[in-house]
């Protein structure tokens, strides 16, 4: 496949249109089904867990967190920070709590991060907001048994940028012990040549500055990274996952690459609401092993 940027813009727009690669539903129908599934899952999670909703981590309207606490929130618990996708321009924290039930039942808190999507938000600001949300959580829950990042699609890029943070300017160093990066984009250069950039308005400099592939940090001891991609993701998404995983490995990170059968760009993450789903199980193993 080679570098995505070398392909014609028309072909790139096909490669970076995840709904075109889904098999169970076509086009907009799979996106609509995703919105309905995640919203319904989040409603169930809110009904069944102790929650602190719309917690501000900054002054901006979009700088809010939804926190789903385990049954006994008095002890030390691990925190999973979930960063939603939506190509940096749609979705929100409000339908991002669907993965909470299997986690809170195991004594893990889930935090869904809100950030300003485009056109209000721009790429530098989104990366900064997500970093600040993680710093806020590290200060709010200093006694946690580790923080874990989980990002889907655009959220995987944001989570990967959190791994590349210089924490000296945040006054805290979060104890990040793992990251689950799902169907992500780690090199933003190809996005410049697609419809996705219409709302984002990224320049090449902005794209490079916020591409995890171009700012792989030295390996963090005791932090495990899982890079997952769906069978029915496009070849470009597969290439991006493979190359970013390899770049991390080359830098000394502990990395696992997971190619998940029978799922597409959307249900690969939706199914985290299910106890029996392989990614739920792998995530649970990651949380319990450290």
Return the active site residues.
153, 233, 265
Is there a cis peptide before residue 119, judged by omega within 30 degrees of 0?
A: yes
Whole-number Å distance between alpha carbons of 11 and 142? 47
All residues at 6 or more sequence positions from 32 whose CB lies less than 8 Å from its CB, including other chains: none
Whole-number Å distance between alpha carbons of 158 and 85? 9
User: What one-character-per-residue DSSP string does 99-158 give?
Assistant: THHHHHTTT-EEEEEP---TTTS-HHHHHHHHHHHHHHHHHH-TT-S-EEEEEETHHHHH
Q: Which has the closest alpha carbon to 42: 112, 82, 96?
A: 96
Q: Give the number of other CB atoms < 10 A from CB of residue 253.
A: 19
CA distances from 178 to 43, 65, 131, 256 (A): 27, 20, 15, 11
All residues at 6 or more sequence positions from 91 whose CB lies less than 8 Å from its CB, including other chains: 35, 38, 84, 85, 117
All residues at 6 or more sequence positions from 162 whose CB lies less than 8 Å from its CB, including other chains: 130, 131, 134, 149, 176, 179
């Amino acid at each position: 496949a080679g570098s995505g940027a070398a392909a014609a813009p028309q072909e790139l727009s096909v490669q970076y249109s995840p709904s075109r690669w889904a098999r169970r539903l076509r086009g907009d129908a799979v996106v609509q089904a995703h919105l309905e599934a995640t919203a319904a899952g989040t409603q169930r999670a809110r009904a069944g867990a102790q929650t602190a909703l719309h917690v501000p981590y900054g002054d901006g309207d979009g700088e809010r967190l939804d926190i789903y606490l385990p049954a006994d929130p008095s002890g030390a618990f691990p925190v999973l920070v979930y960063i939603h996708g939506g190509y940096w321009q749609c979705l929100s924290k409000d339908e991002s709590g669907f993965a909470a039930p299997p986690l809170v039942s195991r004594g893990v808190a889930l935090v869904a991060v809100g950030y300003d999507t485009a056109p209000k938000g721009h790429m530098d600001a989104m990366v900064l907001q997500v970093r600040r949300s993680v710093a806020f959580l590290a200060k709010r829950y200093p006694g946690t048994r580790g923080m874990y990042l989980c990002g889907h699609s655009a959220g995987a890029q944001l989570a990967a940028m959190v791994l590349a943070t210089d924490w000296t300017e945040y006054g805290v160093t979060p104890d990040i012990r793992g990251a689950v990066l799902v169907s992500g984009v780690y090199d933003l250069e190809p996005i410049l040549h697609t419809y996705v950039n219409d709302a984002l308005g990224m320049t090449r400099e902005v794209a490079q500055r916020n591409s995890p592939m171009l700012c792989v940090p030295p390996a963090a001891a005791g932090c495990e990274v899982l890079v997952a991609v769906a069978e029915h993701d496009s070849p470009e998404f597969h290439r991006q996952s493979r190359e970013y995983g390899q770049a991390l490995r080359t830098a000394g990170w502990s990395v696992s690459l997971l190619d998940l059968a029978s799922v597409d760009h959307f249900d690969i993450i939706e199914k985290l609401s299910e106890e029996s789903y392989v990614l739920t199980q792998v995530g649970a193993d990651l949380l319990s092993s450290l």
